[in-house]
Structure 1
Amino acid sequence: MSGLAWFAWGLAALLLFWGIGAYNRVMSLRNAIASAFAQLDTHLNERAQLCNKLLDLLRPLLPNEQATFAALEAAQAESQTLAQAVRARPCSGDPVASLAVAHAVHAAALTRVMSMLDHHAELREHSELYALMDELKLVERQRSFARQVFNQAVGVYNHAVGQFPTRVLASLYGFGEARSL
């Protein structure tokens, strides 16, 4: 075999091993996004359970505010449905973008309920209510942190997919850009 043939085989082997390494790197970054979403999803489920408890507690106490409670329930149902879609493919852009919008709607509905509670002085005697609100605030802080971890994982993945030689392989293997929340 001539020197040129050895060089060609060596270059082919180098490209093959580089391609395998790049693929494994992008896959591990993609798995990091899925792992970060799993943590976020845990906090979303906790928030949903606490909101249900809050609504169950408030419905008999404030019968005139059923429209506000219905808005929170609707926002929560939409958020849970979209979270289910993101669970299947956390790197897919469209479901994550829809979930981000649903989070904003849910946050607005929850803020309306919380501000409504501040205006009803008769509810101050319910210690269970305020314990539930404190727990909900804690879960919201944890969810916010988990969301930040998810967004960082998405940023690292998108950076890796956007770099030059990996970009060629990313399009070849179908790695698209991920969306943050």
Structure 2
Amino acid sequence: MKKGVLVILGIVVVILIIVFWIIGAYNKMVALEQNVNEKYSQIQNQLQRRLDLIPNLVETVKGYAAQEREIFEAIANARAKLAGAQTPQEQATADAELSNVLSRLLVIVENYPTLKSDANFRQLMDELAGTENRIAVARKDYNEAVKEYNTLIKKFPYFLIAGSRFTEKQYFEAKPGAENAPEVKF
């Protein structure tokens, strides 16, 4: 009789250990998924900050360089694409296009020395540079969170628990050719 009770008690303990491990594993995957979502929202937050700064920068430059209409239209189009992007890949592509157009704007600024000394312009450029750094950090943090999450849901035995509820997340990747400096033509 004692052996039977011990065997049953042992089985119950093993089952409880397995159940608690499954609950812990599931909760870990949920926490990592939420971390990925939070990091992605930080990218969106910084991209929105940049979108909000650009109209002020453009208006400042317009006062000095009214004849450069093409660049202002290109900036408006690039901003619209970024604002409408839904996935990390769409945002990365639109972000690269906007960065390219902004670099063209900075070349225009070189032709207007008085603009470079304007206090509003300098402040906006400093804020934009700070925002670019924040975007880079947010992308890095997001990609690290995605790596940790994707790695976990593919590991044994986590993938058994993950099933179809936890799917692989996309990395925030630059579009092909982004490693090359943009070509600026006037």
Which TM-score tier does this pair reach, normalised by the shorter chain? 0.7 to 0.9
CA apart distance, 1:81: 1.9
1:167 pairs with 2:159: yes
Selected match of 1:113 from 100, 105, 108: 105
**What is the CA deviation profile of residues 3-25 of structure 1, one whole-angstrom value per residue up to 9, with x for unaligned ones?**
66555544443332222111100
- 1:26-53 CA distances to partner (integer Å, 9 max, x unpaired)? 1101111122223222222211111011
Q: Does 1:68 align with 2:71?
A: yes
- CA-to-aligned-CA distance 1:62-103 (integer Å, 9 cap, x gap): 222222111111111211222xx3xxxxxxxxx111111111
| Residue 101 (structure 1) aligned with residue 101 (structure 2) | no
Matched, 1:136 2:136: no
Please tell me whether residue 58 in structure 1 is matched to residue 61 in structure 2.
yes
| Count of residue pairs brought into register by the alignment | 169
Task: Tell me which moved more, 149-158 or 61-70.
Answer: 61-70
Provide structure 2 residue ranges, at least 5 long, that are not aligned to the other structure.
173-186
| CA RMSD of superposed structures (Å) | 2.1
After TM superposition, the score normalised by the length of structure 2 is 0.80
> Counterpart of 1:178?
169
Q: Tell me whether 36-45 or 104-113 shows the greater mean CA deviation.
A: 36-45
* Residue in structure 1 matched with residue 17 of structure 2 by the alignment: 14
Whole-angstrom CA distance in 2 between matches of 1:130 and 1:57: 10
Identical amino acids, percent of aligned pairs: 25
Match of 1:41 in 2: 44
The structure with the greater share of residues assigned to helix is: 1
Shift of 1:166: 0.5
